[in-house]
Structure 1
Amino acid sequence: MKIGKVWLVSSLIFLPSSVSASHVFGLSPPKSQQPFTAAEEYLITSETKIYAEGLLKRWNSPGLSLAAVRRDYSQASGWRHEFASFGIGRADGSPVTPDSVFAIASNSKLFLAVSVGLLIHNATLNDCNGKRLTWRTKMQDLMPEWGLMDMDAEHGATIQDLLSHRTGMPRHDFSYHFRDGSLGDMISKLRYLRPSAELRETFQYNNLMYSVLSYLPKILLNQSYPSYVSQHIFNPLNMTASTFSVAEAEKRGSFVDGFQYDMEDIPNGKNGTQKPTVPYLVRAGDEEAWAGPGGVLTSARDMALWMSMLLNEGKHPYTNATVIPKGVIEHVARGRSVADGGKPEFPELGPKVYGAGQIRYSYRGREIVEHGGHNPGYRTQVARLPEDNLGVISMSNDDVGGPLMESVKWRIIDDALGLQKIDWNSRYEKVWNDYLEKARKHTPRPKNPEVSRSTLVSLTSHTFGHPTYGTLKPCFVPGSVLPFPENTLMLPEQPHCTDFLSLPPTQRLLADTNLTSPTFLIPFDVGFATHLLLKHFDGNIFNLTAVLTNWAAREEYKRKHGSIQQLSSQGLGQGRDRGDLVLRWLETFEAEWIDKGENEQGLAFRGGFWGKEGPDARSPEGTGKHSAEVWFDRVNNK
């Protein structure tokens, strides 16, 4: 997932390191692949370990788990698996090990893609019309719940279109509701989300479509998606640490804490304090909607088995038995959409194309197939070079751990291929610093902004709703500066706001918020945000910031288990709990109060709130309601 910070903003990790190697049983590789020989050095060299440790210190990162995989005929297994672990995995200082479990976020998408491939290769399965299931099967023929606002996309979108992010839909990540209703309910509400392009017009990364496809085992086999993956992938590969169940991962005691920056406010020069996010963002019982796009919890050791199977063209690295048909492995890696606008970030890299949970490009003449991942508090990168029979896995429990992971990944690859080393960290530092500098720049509020009493009263008098995003009930923040006496505002009573504004996370947020303009706070309990902060800019325009806090999740855990300290499986020893976390997403959006009479009253959210991407995606045209990326209609007068 990519929310709040760009993928590069991944962090690095430090502390003591450990390296181990495990070997498995050999198979004959395709002739085009280059085997590892005994004369070569370790894949993760001592110099690379020192390099990684230095970067962990430099980036003040908590922990990092690495795995490198390559064919090695000098071993009885025919494979070389090497692991390196750095830093702390949990709040009590427990170290990262090869068996530490991370949320691998969007690297879960490949599990979804190959699961779809397995369903397609199941000759007994047909769609609802009795036709053979294929990559070209249309979604409208599979799911009665399916529907999109763009009728051409609704009727024309295929399984492949969803996998390759070419439905015309922007992200709409803030529409995720992990708890409200079933996956089928979520799918039925996609029709209310506005597209930003036509079907197959451009690449736009979309997590929701991978959630949709995770519903296929249920409708075709009456089996849950996590159960299907366990049966057909985890169990055959003996990936014993891998699960979708948060409760199971926490119970085992190897699930690392994800670290984020509490009270960070980069646009206003506040760096925040690094804290573990305890408990994990997705709670036990709420995994269904996020399972397909980002729900796998696994370890470096298990991912080494997964990587070996991918390099072995779908065959088990120990037994040579087929786990995933070769044709499926080839299909998901074949590019169908041009990603990232087709422009390489650096001269050594080629343009990127996206298949299904896989990005493909060249690096210094070598072909790479990979994918990144970001859940709040976690970053991952899983890359393989098929022609060189090499795979590298990096997993960080730092929300901004990307530069470190990428730098170490390239160091391992350069060493393994005998290429001249590049100072990748300096490059990523520049990218990161440029990103921060850009984030600090914002349009200043006018010196004499217009503030309308009627606008402020309207926002506090009404409830606003969107069929997919949910309901908004703005709460005016007392004490925020007005150009007139507050007692003349005559705001209606808001009993729900009194309780909401007195909650501890709300108090923490407001105590650290500049209230020199009229300010509203809105409860917004979705997957990746809990609050919306509206600060008046001018006229009917407000700056909009999404905020995420884990306070409610912590309180719920306490009610069920008595104390956060009992979350011992995540390493919280007595006195180590560092409290709840309040996180402002880095991007600032725009909200406008629209009042064109009874037929058009509401809030228009703009400025990137819907997550538009791609060179051919378009912003809404028009004024008022028609200018909204997301339109929250007024639903009542109370």
Structure 2
Amino acid sequence: MRISAMWLVCTSVSLCAHLSSTLSAKLYHSISQTHFGISENALISSETRSYAESLLKRRDSPGLSLAAVRRDSSEPSGWRHEFASFGIAKAGGSPVTPDSVFAIASNSKLFLAVSNGLLIHNNSLSDLQGRRLNWQTKMKDLIPGWSLMDKDAEVGSTIQDLLSHRTGMPKHEFSYKLKDGLLDNMISTFRYLRPSAEFRETFQYNNMMYSVLSYLPHILLNQSYSSYVSEHIFGPLNMAASTFSIAQAERSGCFVDGFQYDLVDTSNGKRGIKKPTLPFFMRPGDEEIMDGPGGVLTSARDLVMWASMLLNEGKHPYTNASIVPNKVIEHLAHGRSVSDGGKPGFPELGPKVYGAGQFRFSYRGREIVEHGGSVPGYKTKIARLPNDNLAIISMSNDENGYYLAESIKWRVIDDVLGLEKIDWSRRYEKVWNNTLEKAQKHTPRPKHPNVPKASLVSLANHSFGHPTYGNLKPCFVPGSALPLLEDSLSLPERSHCANFLALPPTQRLLAETDLTSPTFLIPHEVGFATHLLLRHFNGNVFNLTVVWTNWAVREQHRFKHELPGLYSSQDQSFEGDQGDLITRWPETFEVEWVDNSEGEYGLAFRGGFWGKEGPDSSSPGGTGRDGAEVWFGKVKKE
């Protein structure tokens, strides 16, 4: 289903328009607006809008919210704010508007960094604490229970190190237990997470460190991070739609549905069926751990105020009241870590450096400060060109919408600055196709694989644990092939496995899985996963696929079947599908089942499972526990 693109600058036929308060309407009436056409010097030109429409159609993408900001002395307010909205916000067909609320994901990191800057420059807080907080304040002096496996990083890590992703810690993103809810619980287990680089050796993106920094308002002021940002940023900028509360966003009626691709399998070239992620992938009460790294829910209308403040040296764009000290804005944009190995991806781009919640680089001689955002079903980009007084906000509700949002961002920049236009979409299509081709080039399983050194009965009869990641209880999948020397009748029936394997999403997943090798399925409910699928490869090595489904939460909240009439013409329903989603992580990892004479017994996860990056990071190498990125040892008592 496709709703034609609309140019929406002020009014909206939807409920969402009411989020623009009466105060906002009275105080900011001088915003540049166009009701009946597109002016010749528009920031979002007719050509750009046509380009965006064509990309959404070509990619069969659900929706996009676009906004552009520029300081303009010819305007009574001194600013131009323009919006363009495309496609659908919800599965039922309601259109995207400037008031549609998106999960901006990692674009939330700059809100966290700014909040840290406000705390640092709070003189009253310094007087109260009896000490001066600064960017170099060490975490060991701030965070109760702060402990890392690398003692140099534990002792030396500062606020700035965490903001700039240089602690040596990889992502470890399959360890986030959102439902545990308490940051101090998560922080207390950091010492069990293996680093992949020396302290301050390289840039390694890590969401958990932004979660840690969101704990500072609680420690210093006994105030939650979300309320601190609401008080000091959302409120002063009149960002009325902005919140960290999933319940509040859902009640507003403006929260867009993020679309993902059911049963996608990049390793086999299967795109999957486009479906809305209903409900949102996190639920009310799960927000605390993700608030700092990716919890802001907001609209294009609110974000133009945020972007204008950043361009205006920390001052409110209309009143010039100070919101954030300019020294904080400048400090956060100053590059301290080199990302992407210092190698630009295209000739027009300069090397990227990372400050705090922002990348900084050049584009065709123009300086850009920006960040992207990605959570299931949402892809966002917020960029500003400080020397050109220009900012762009591009938000997609498509899991595959990253390159779409990027391409349209570049088109606005080229158009406004009068640069020769580059068809970034075609470039990104080549990148995407190369990625898909690479994903399908995997080493085939040997025709005559070696059997594991120990019986699979043993693997199916034990549990394995990690202090941070939790416990794993493998369930053997009946019907998957066993070595000739084993009999499925000898495999134990674990108390939880029969029910787990009989669940509808499990049956749907296994129906799409090659079961010609011994296969195990493991429940593992964390932020970005619900299942781990192990398929025997050779010897004691298994291939690992990380799986996520929203079936359980849909059952809990009684969501109904939404398939009929909501998807594109090539999509089709199939037996057993009740509107739930099953997605696979695009990368395949490796698990070694270790059972040796030296007393080691467990599962060694490797092959990138921990999420390391950068040319100066390194994998443990070798086999067994020493070669594990993450080690799950045998649990002695269950």
| Corresponding residue for residue 4 of structure 2 | 16
2:343 maps to a residue whose letter is: K
Q: Answer with 456-465 or 376-385: which moved more.
A: 456-465
In the alignment, the residues of structure 1 paired with residue 585 and residue 119 of structure 2 have an alpha-carbon distance, to the nearest angstrom, of 38
| Corresponding residue for residue 246 of structure 2 | 246
**Given that residues 181 and 286 in structure 2 are in contact (C-alpha distance below 8 angstroms), is that contact kept between their aligned partners in structure 1?**
no
In the alignment, the residues of structure 2 paired with residue 97 and residue 301 of structure 1 have an alpha-carbon distance, to the nearest angstrom, of 9
Q: Unaligned 5+ residue runs, structure 2?
A: 11-24, 31-37, 567-572
How far does residue 484 in structure 1 lie from its aligned partner after superposition? 2.0
**Given that residues 106 and 293 in structure 1 are in contact (C-alpha distance below 8 angstroms), is that contact kept between their aligned partners in structure 2?**
yes
How far does residue 402 in structure 1 lie from its aligned partner after superposition? 1.4
C-alpha spacing 1:124/1:430, structure 2 compared with 1 (3 Å): same
C-alpha spacing 1:357/1:333, structure 2 compared with 1 (3 Å): same
Aligned length: 605
| Corresponding residue for residue 443 of structure 2 | 443
Q: SS of 2:136's equivalent?
A: coil
In the alignment, the residues of structure 2 paired with residue 203 and residue 128 of structure 1 have an alpha-carbon distance, to the nearest angstrom, of 35
In the alignment, the residues of structure 2 paired with residue 25 and residue 248 of structure 1 have an alpha-carbon distance, to the nearest angstrom, of 25
| Corresponding residue for residue 504 of structure 1 | 504
How far does residue 150 in structure 1 lie from its aligned partner after superposition? 0.3
Q: Answer with 71-80 or 304-313: which moved more.
A: 71-80
**Given that residues 211 and 292 in structure 2 are in contact (C-alpha distance below 8 angstroms), is that contact kept between their aligned partners in structure 1?**
yes
**Given that residues 449 and 537 in structure 1 are in contact (C-alpha distance below 8 angstroms), is that contact kept between their aligned partners in structure 2?**
yes
How far does residue 636 in structure 1 lie from its aligned partner after superposition? 2.4
In the alignment, the residues of structure 1 paired with residue 584 and residue 8 of structure 2 have an alpha-carbon distance, to the nearest angstrom, of 39
Q: Answer with 261-270 or 153-162: which moved more.
A: 261-270
| Corresponding residue for residue 484 of structure 2 | 484
In the alignment, the residues of structure 2 paired with residue 391 and residue 21 of structure 1 have an alpha-carbon distance, to the nearest angstrom, of 16
| Corresponding residue for residue 309 of structure 1 | 309
Q: SS of 1:254's equivalent?
A: coil
In the alignment, the residues of structure 2 paired with residue 159 and residue 611 of structure 1 have an alpha-carbon distance, to the nearest angstrom, of 22
| Corresponding residue for residue 94 of structure 2 | 94
**Given that residues 505 and 551 in structure 2 are in contact (C-alpha distance below 8 angstroms), is that contact kept between their aligned partners in structure 1?**
yes
Q: SS of 1:379's equivalent?
A: strand
| Corresponding residue for residue 156 of structure 1 | 156
Q: CA-to-partner distance for each residue in 1:42-84, whole Å, 9 max, x for gaps?
A: 0000011110000001111000000000012222111110000
Q: CA-to-partner distance for each residue in 1:135-173, whole Å, 9 max, x for gaps?
A: 000000001121110001000000000000000000001
C-alpha spacing 1:371/1:550, structure 2 compared with 1 (3 Å): same
Q: CA-to-partner distance for each residue in 1:453-487, whole Å, 9 max, x for gaps?
A: 73411211111000000010000000001232763
| Corresponding residue for residue 139 of structure 1 | 139
Matched ranges for 1:247-266 at <5 A? 247-266=247-266
| Corresponding residue for residue 33 of structure 1 | none
2:64 maps to a residue whose letter is: L
How far does residue 492 in structure 1 lie from its aligned partner after superposition? 2.0
How far does residue 295 in structure 1 lie from its aligned partner after superposition? 0.4
| Corresponding residue for residue 603 of structure 1 | 603
**Given that residues 545 and 585 in structure 2 are in contact (C-alpha distance below 8 angstroms), is that contact kept between their aligned partners in structure 1?**
yes
Higher relative contact order (Cα pairs below 8 Å, separated by 6+ residues)? 1
Matched, 1:551 2:524: no
**Given that residues 165 and 203 in structure 2 are in contact (C-alpha distance below 8 angstroms), is that contact kept between their aligned partners in structure 1?**
yes
1:372 maps to a residue whose letter is: G
How far does residue 630 in structure 1 lie from its aligned partner after superposition? 0.2
In the alignment, the residues of structure 2 paired with residue 504 and residue 115 of structure 1 have an alpha-carbon distance, to the nearest angstrom, of 44
**Given that residues 139 and 157 in structure 2 are in contact (C-alpha distance below 8 angstroms), is that contact kept between their aligned partners in structure 1?**
yes
How far does residue 251 in structure 1 lie from its aligned partner after superposition? 0.5
**Given that residues 62 and 88 in structure 1 are in contact (C-alpha distance below 8 angstroms), is that contact kept between their aligned partners in structure 2?**
yes
**Given that residues 3 and 93 in structure 2 are in contact (C-alpha distance below 8 angstroms), is that contact kept between their aligned partners in structure 1?**
no
In the alignment, the residues of structure 2 paired with residue 26 and residue 390 of structure 1 have an alpha-carbon distance, to the nearest angstrom, of 21
Matched ranges for 1:216-615 at <5 A? 216-452=216-452, 454-484=454-484, 487=487, 490-558=490-558, 563-564=559-560, 579-597=579-597, 599-615=599-615
Q: SS of 2:586's equivalent?
A: coil
Q: SS of 1:238's equivalent?
A: coil
C-alpha spacing 1:587/1:518, structure 2 compared with 1 (3 Å): same
In the alignment, the residues of structure 2 paired with residue 198 and residue 189 of structure 1 have an alpha-carbon distance, to the nearest angstrom, of 19
In the alignment, the residues of structure 2 paired with residue 578 and residue 505 of structure 1 have an alpha-carbon distance, to the nearest angstrom, of 9
In the alignment, the residues of structure 2 paired with residue 39 and residue 485 of structure 1 have an alpha-carbon distance, to the nearest angstrom, of 76
Q: CA-to-partner distance for each residue in 1:370-414, whole Å, 9 max, x for gaps?
A: 000000100000000000000000000001101111111111001
1:505 maps to a residue whose letter is: P
Q: CA-to-partner distance for each residue in 1:532-591, whole Å, 9 max, x for gaps?
A: 000000010000000000011112212xxxx5589xxx9xxxxx9961000011100000
**Given that residues 269 and 436 in structure 2 are in contact (C-alpha distance below 8 angstroms), is that contact kept between their aligned partners in structure 1?**
no
Q: SS of 2:625's equivalent?
A: helix
Q: SS of 2:303's equivalent?
A: helix
How far does residue 266 in structure 1 lie from its aligned partner after superposition? 1.8
Q: SS of 1:84's equivalent?
A: strand
C-alpha spacing 1:578/1:298, structure 2 compared with 1 (3 Å): farther
Q: SS of 1:613's equivalent?
A: coil
**Given that residues 264 and 584 in structure 2 are in contact (C-alpha distance below 8 angstroms), is that contact kept between their aligned partners in structure 1?**
yes
In the alignment, the residues of structure 1 paired with residue 39 and residue 600 of structure 2 have an alpha-carbon distance, to the nearest angstrom, of 73
2:7 maps to a residue whose letter is: V
| Corresponding residue for residue 33 of structure 2 | none
Q: CA-to-partner distance for each residue in 1:347-392, whole Å, 9 max, x for gaps?
A: 0000000000000000000000000000010000000000000000
In the alignment, the residues of structure 2 paired with residue 25 and residue 96 of structure 1 have an alpha-carbon distance, to the nearest angstrom, of 23
In the alignment, the residues of structure 2 paired with residue 582 and residue 181 of structure 1 have an alpha-carbon distance, to the nearest angstrom, of 24
In the alignment, the residues of structure 2 paired with residue 127 and residue 58 of structure 1 have an alpha-carbon distance, to the nearest angstrom, of 58
In the alignment, the residues of structure 1 paired with residue 266 and residue 619 of structure 2 have an alpha-carbon distance, to the nearest angstrom, of 26
C-alpha spacing 1:244/1:178, structure 2 compared with 1 (3 Å): same
Q: Unaligned 5+ residue runs, structure 1?
A: 1-12, 28-37, 571-575
In the alignment, the residues of structure 2 paired with residue 565 and residue 112 of structure 1 have an alpha-carbon distance, to the nearest angstrom, of 38
| Corresponding residue for residue 32 of structure 1 | none
In the alignment, the residues of structure 2 paired with residue 128 and residue 622 of structure 1 have an alpha-carbon distance, to the nearest angstrom, of 52
**Given that residues 309 and 316 in structure 1 are in contact (C-alpha distance below 8 angstroms), is that contact kept between their aligned partners in structure 2?**
yes
C-alpha spacing 1:479/1:226, structure 2 compared with 1 (3 Å): same
C-alpha spacing 1:625/1:223, structure 2 compared with 1 (3 Å): same
Q: Deviation above 4 Å: which 4+ runs of structure 1?
A: 22-27, 126-130, 563-566
In the alignment, the residues of structure 1 paired with residue 126 and residue 72 of structure 2 have an alpha-carbon distance, to the nearest angstrom, of 42
2:328 maps to a residue whose letter is: V
In the alignment, the residues of structure 2 paired with residue 322 and residue 128 of structure 1 have an alpha-carbon distance, to the nearest angstrom, of 23
In the alignment, the residues of structure 2 paired with residue 508 and residue 309 of structure 1 have an alpha-carbon distance, to the nearest angstrom, of 48
C-alpha spacing 1:244/1:81, structure 2 compared with 1 (3 Å): same
**Given that residues 166 and 204 in structure 1 are in contact (C-alpha distance below 8 angstroms), is that contact kept between their aligned partners in structure 2?**
yes
Normalised by the size of structure 2, how large is the TM-score? 0.92
In the alignment, the residues of structure 2 paired with residue 128 and residue 604 of structure 1 have an alpha-carbon distance, to the nearest angstrom, of 48
Q: SS of 2:632's equivalent?
A: strand
In the alignment, the residues of structure 2 paired with residue 350 and residue 135 of structure 1 have an alpha-carbon distance, to the nearest angstrom, of 27
| Corresponding residue for residue 210 of structure 1 | 210
**Given that residues 481 and 515 in structure 1 are in contact (C-alpha distance below 8 angstroms), is that contact kept between their aligned partners in structure 2?**
yes
Q: CA-to-partner distance for each residue in 1:565-618, whole Å, 9 max, x for gaps?
A: 89xxx9xxxxx9961000011100000111124742100000000000011001
**Given that residues 453 and 489 in structure 1 are in contact (C-alpha distance below 8 angstroms), is that contact kept between their aligned partners in structure 2?**
no
Percent sequence identity over aligned pairs? 70
In the alignment, the residues of structure 2 paired with residue 492 and residue 291 of structure 1 have an alpha-carbon distance, to the nearest angstrom, of 42
Q: CA-to-partner distance for each residue in 1:491-542, whole Å, 9 max, x for gaps?
A: 2231210010011111110011000000000000001000000000001000
C-alpha spacing 1:194/1:401, structure 2 compared with 1 (3 Å): same
In the alignment, the residues of structure 2 paired with residue 477 and residue 72 of structure 1 have an alpha-carbon distance, to the nearest angstrom, of 64
In the alignment, the residues of structure 2 paired with residue 183 and residue 50 of structure 1 have an alpha-carbon distance, to the nearest angstrom, of 46
In the alignment, the residues of structure 2 paired with residue 488 and residue 178 of structure 1 have an alpha-carbon distance, to the nearest angstrom, of 36
In the alignment, the residues of structure 1 paired with residue 471 and residue 150 of structure 2 have an alpha-carbon distance, to the nearest angstrom, of 23
In the alignment, the residues of structure 1 paired with residue 243 and residue 375 of structure 2 have an alpha-carbon distance, to the nearest angstrom, of 16
1:603 maps to a residue whose letter is: L
